[in-house]
Structure 1
């Protein structure tokens, strides 16, 4: 293997490792502190953003991640027809960033 190929592989491995560091799950005890400090909206308000978007749906799972310097609240829902939805909500502003049907 030539030097250029080795350099490319090393660069790709470094990018992969650094990407993994950019998205971290926030531990539950830290979530409560972030809410209490006013850094992020309350979980009830963030859940309401999701249920306002899908009024007949039930929340099945939630997760808070710190990605690229932002707190992203991820919500999984199941609607009345059994469809599953994944929503990403900005945990600071409450803005719906995206949704995807599973």
Structure 2
């Protein structure tokens, strides 16, 4: 469990360099607390889930609270250059949305 928390914290530290945080985004500290409490899955496991749906490179990521549900939103650029938006339920890992970005 401590390894998962440490890995999640490391991933969270990288969030700041990957994207500017919007007003409705969850802070890195809050996200780490939610992972530690078991409210949401580790961000690393959610990223692995997203990459299993669309292989490529994560170009942006945001953890948000939307209508009472924590959602992890990722932008992925596939190897062919296509951009994808993937939204996961951060608590369950279920896919909420997968769509090609325009």
**Number of matched pairs:** 79
Moved over 6 A (4+): none
TM-score normalized by structure 1? 0.74
CA RMSD, Structure 1 to Structure 2 (Å):
1.2
- Per-residue CA deviation, residues 38-84 of structure 1 (Å, 9 max, x unaligned), is 100001110011100013x1111110000100000000100001011
Q: Who wins on radius of gyration, i.e. which is larger?
A: 1
In 1, distance between residues paired with 2:48 and 2:33?
A: 20
Q: In the alignment, is residue 68 of structure 1 matched against residue 67 of structure 2?
A: yes
* Structure 1 counterpart of 2:15: none
Structure 2, unmatched stretches of 5+, are 1-22
Residues 17-58 of structure 1: CA distance to partner in whole angstroms, max 9, x if unpaired? xxxxxx921111111111111100001110011100013x11
Q: Using the alignment, how far apart are the partners of 1:32 and 1:70 within structure 2? A: 16
State yes or no: 1:26 paired with 2:26.
Answer: yes
Gap regions ≥5 residues in structure 1: 1-22
| Corresponding residue for residue 49 of structure 2 | 49
- Rounded to whole Å, the distance in 2 between the matches of 1:42 and 1:29 is 13
